Each structure stands twice: as structure tokens, then as C-alpha cells.
Amino acid sequence: MVEKLAKAAWMKGRKGPVVLVIMDGVGFGKYKDGDAVAAAYKPNLDWLMANCPNTRLKAHGQAVGLPSDADMGNSEVGHNAIGSGRVFDQGAKLVSGSIASGKMFEGQAWKDIAGNAIAKKSTLHFIGLFSDGNVHSHIDHLKAMMQQAAKEGVGRIRVHILLDGRDVGETSALEYVTPFEAFLAELRQQGCDARIASGGGRMFITMDRYNANWGMVERGWHTHVLGDGRQFASATEAIETLRKETGAIDQDLGAFVIAENGQPVGTIEDGDSVVYFNFRGDRALEITAAFEQDDFDKFDRVRRPNVVYAGMMEYDGDLHVPKRYLTAPPSIDRTSGEYLCALGLRTLACSETQKYGHVTYFYNGNKSGRIDDKLETYLEVPSDIVPFEQRPWMKGAEITDTMVEGILSGNYDFLRCNFPNGDMVGHTGVFQAAKIGVECVDLCIGRIRRAVEKVGGVLVITADHGNADDMFEHKKDGSLSMENGQPKVKTAHSLNPVPCIVYDPDFQGEYQTTLREGLGISSIAATCINLLGYEAPADYDPSVLVH
């Protein structure tokens, strides 16, 4: 249990609550072309930016615990930082360090995985996102593990590739497959039978999250485990054929199975070992459950092979999932939610399914469940299961309904929500849809602002990273990258800063109207604690408020 925070003598109380709105994927674009945030009609945000204290916060790279400032931020590390008030080394950095130091290969989980395959002369399977996007996974981690396995004597390796096109270029799959095939050929020359066995787009198979669409996981199970699906001679042939037939970008490509003489080259069988090599947890939990749970009821697994299974990291620290993992996750303690509960403050957290876990699980330091059942209310609005460009407004209205009702009720001291539009619609690469998504968020913020004003509260608006602000690829000189006469679409996150706006209608001069600059989104926690009338913990990153 954390200690109770001291009152901030300099901050007078407000009648109403502090409300935190996280506009997922909404940053300040570097280029006019492709900036769906700047292009959107957003009178509410424009007014707030013109009339309220505001600053720009870092939301990528080392500011959120990633290895370098060339690394894009993401929603998971972003919400970790916002909720914990400090920066912790995150998945990519932890895994890279574990591999470089050799600690991963000295751990019991790796010994179980490799040892099983060696002792039984069985297959070691790797399943995961196949790119260097460094958001869910990194191909260098995969290659390092395969090299180590071959060195130790694993004789047969199969890789099940989930095509990205989201954290990297939308049609970049072959840029990874072609050199990887050469890498596999080298392993085969060294005596290890290593091949790609199956694959498909990350938004079509395997990588569902928050129980939004178990059909994706079922398709992945049939593809990777059962070898049940359309057959091709190679991953290259599969990608080229499916792309030509459907016009889909990588993340949406259909499933494929690599086969010889009509037989899949890499089904998962009893006695095999399996590594799910994504380090990020949200899109790892469901496929992990399919492998690990005895009483699994989400779909008919047909058969469940008896395997030694490991995840790259522990994906849920409360439920201890998976049972075996290769790298320990960051140990995030003393989150802002714990401090608010210790003070007896009442909290509401809300989003739709796509980001519900972000304002709860990730915000609370990768811990499932409420911190205090009596003080906290978590509300999930079920997401539509449709392509996001077809419903760019998503569930913004319903989230706003919940927030406005909570604000006006007087039942909460602190409310937080996430609007996923800028991120989820931004990932589709459809500029018009992303623009509409941002406009929807603006409408929602207008409603929330009026509710905050009515009850005398304070509204803090920020984002976890950029996305919709950078929808087109640009060259190093700033000019647009073109493809077939059109701007080349970018579906990944951006490296751009994000806003921090403080709307305080009952402001009484307690802090300067010029906010601190040069901070990261981890400073949001101390800011909200200050606005609630308390001093932030001494080791929290500084508040944007200067008093």
C-alpha cells in the first residue's frame, strides 16, 4: 500500500472533478501534407489551444522507455507512462538487453523450450509479428533466438509470420521475407532445418486483443497449429498472389500455409516447443490462452497439441500469463491510481473495447482488475467489429455519454477516458477517414468541456503518441514519397510530440499560465495529482504546472 500524499498548499480545491482525456494517436504533425489532425475541422480543440495553458510533450523513444529516439511510441508504453508518472524500460529495450547479455539463454524458460526440442528431436516453432517495427516485436530478436537454438543443437525450426503493414510500411512484407529466406538458407547449410511454415496479416489472424474478435485467433490456430488453409510453395508466392488478388495491404492479407506435395511443412504437434515472440501483451493474451488453458471455450481447437509454450514476456502480471516467459517485464509500482485510492478518491475509467485495456490494465502498470473495487469504476463500451475506416467515429459518442454522465453525477473525483479514433483509424491509412475520426473526437471534447465547466472541474487533454498527424510517407528532404502518382500511405505511428492542454474554468492564479516545456507524457500523472490538490510523489516526473 502506498503512502498518502500531502496536500498541495498552493492549489485551491475545485468543486468538480479532474477529467483526463487521452486522444489516442493525435499529435502535432511535422508536414502539412498527410496531417489529418491539422486538416480536420476541430473548433473545440482550436479554441482550447488558443485560450488555455498548453504545451507539447514527448511521446516516443526514451521519453517512454524505448531504446532510442528513433523508436515510435505506442499506446501500451504511452499509457504505462501516463499512469505511472515515471519512465520504465519497456519491452523492446528489455528484450534487446536480455539477448545482448545472454541472460535470456541462461534462463529456465529458454532451457525448457530449447531443451525439449533437442531431447525429443521435435520442432521449435516461432509465432509473431514479422517486422522491425519494435512496437510488438523485432525481427532481430527472432533471428537471435533462432541462431542460438541452432547453435545449441535444435534441428528443426518453423516460423509462423504475422505480416505487419501497420508499424512499418503498409506493403513492406517482402522487404522482410526476402532477406529472411537468405538467413534461413544459411541456417540450413549449418544443419538446422529452418523454414517459414505459415502466415497472414496481423489484422486477419492471431493478433486480436481485448476479446474483440476471437475469429481472428481461430483462423490463426487453424493456420499455424493445424496447417489448415490455402497452400503455397513459399511465403513470397503467397504474399504476391494474395496481394494481386485482393489489393489488400499487409496487415489485412489472408492466411496462408506453406506446403510440399500437398502437405503443410510445419504443423504444431505433440512434443513440439512454441515461442510467441511478441513482447507486447495486448495482442498476445488470446493466442496464449488457446495454447495454455485447459477449459478454453472461445472456439473449437479441434486438437490441442501438448507443447512446451513460452511468451517473450509475461503478458499479464496479475494472472501470470503465460506460465513460462523468456524476459521479465518492467516492474511498474506506485502508479497514480494506487495513490488516488490511498487518498480515498473515486475514479471512473472508460473507453471502447479497442482501448479499454489501455485506460485500465496498462494505465495501472500492466495489472488486471481494479486497485480498489469500492473506489474505482471501469466501463467498457463494446467496439464494432468492422474495418475502422468504415466507422471512423467508432464509439466516440457512447464514450462521451458515459463521461458526461459521470462528470455530472458528482460520484467521481477523477475520470479518464481514451478516444481510439486517431490511432485505430490512422492505422488504416485512409486519410479522409482519419480526418473524420479526429473531427469526431473534437465533437466529443466539446461535450465533455461543457460538462466540466458546468460542475466546476478541470479538464486535461493529451495523447499517448502520434499517428493521424502523419498519414503520408515523406523523404528526408521533406517532400512527399509518391507511388503510382499518389502520396505513399503511412500506417505507422509518428515521432511527433503530443498536446497537453489544461482547461480550468475556475482558475484562481495558483499556477503560471505558461506550462513547462521539454517534458514527456509521464508528466501527466503529477499534473493530475496537483490539480486534485495534492503534491505528487517526489520521484514522479515533474508536473507541467509551474507554481
Q: Which residues are catalytic?
A: 75
* Cα–Cα nearest to 488, from 422, 429, 428: 429
Residue tagged 471501469 (cell numbers): 378
Q: Is 388 helix (H, G, I), strand (E, B) or coil?
A: helix
Q: Is 55 helix (H, G, I), strand (E, B) or coil?
A: strand
* Cα–Cα nearest to 206, from 281, 141, 128: 128
CA-to-CA distance for 543 and 255, rounded, in angstroms?
47
If phi over 0 gives left and psi between -120 and 50 gives alpha, with beta otherwise, what is residue 302? left
CA-to-CA distance for 305 and 337, rounded, in angstroms?
41
Handedness of CA 223, 228, 234, 236 (dihedral sign): negative
Element (H, E) at 419: strand 414-419
The count of C-alpha atoms lying within 13 angstroms of the C-alpha of 523, restricted to the half-sphere facing its C-beta, is 24
Angle, helices 431-455 vs 396-409, to 10°: value is 10
Q: How far does Cα 358 stand from its chain's mean position?
A: 8
Asked if 154 and 117 touch (Cβ cutoff 8 Å), the reply is yes
